[in-house]
Amino acid sequence: MAWFRARFRAHDIYEITGAALERRGFKLLLADLDNTLVPYGVPRPDEKLKAWRDDLSAHGVTLFVLSNNRHQSRPQIFSEALGVPYTGHAGKPKTPSFYKAMERMGVTKEQTAIVGDQVFTDVLGGNLAGVSAILVEPIRLAGNPGRYLRYAAEVPFRLLSGKGERL
């Protein structure tokens, strides 16, 4: 059951500050794209997201998009517009994409966290890779009945995630 529990929990990415990550020794923040950074289908980052990226960077934390999106152009176009490295079609919760991102950025597992909205991909993958997982609420569920079912199955793990530890 511990594999499905995030170390930290936040309402959204904007509750996660560069200062908090720096205090905990994180240098790399892997981030899910859809429903974590932006709603599904949003093609480019807005100024608020760019400012958040800048806050992370000012505290020595690199933002890295780690997306399961099967369309390579989606994470590529978005990440390039945001000015951050990325891996598309990451295959989370499998761990190779986590390890490749850490190697590429020259950091250790202890210096890495992942933020995402899904327990069975982002949190599980982070835990399997040995990095700290931060679970956020999905930005929007509308439009896909399968998402409602998946998130419903995650409720017990969401309730157990982040107990006692704040960023």
Residue with structure tokens 């956020």? 136
Cβ–Cβ < 8 Å for 8, 115: no
Instruction: Please report the beta strands in the chain, taking only residues with DSSP state E, as ranges in sequence order.
Output: 8-10, 28-31, 62-66, 86-87, 112-116, 132-136
Q: Is the pLDDT of residue 152 over 90?
A: no
Please compute the mean of the pLDDT values over residues 7-22 and round it to a whole number.
96
- Give pLDDT, residue 150: 72
The full set of domain ranges for the chain reads: 2-160
pTM for the model = 0.92
> 143: phi > 0 → left, psi -120 to 50 → alpha, else beta; which?
left
Q: Is the pLDDT of residue 99 over 60?
A: yes
d(CA 74, CA 67): 9
**How far, in Å, are 58, 80, 132, 148 from residue 52 at the CA level?**
10, 16, 20, 28
Superfamily covering domain 2-160? HAD superfamily/HAD-like (3.40.50.1000)
Q: Is the pLDDT of residue 93 over 90?
A: yes
pLDDT tens-digit series, residues 26-45: 999 999 999 999 998 899 99
d(CA 137, CA 29): 17
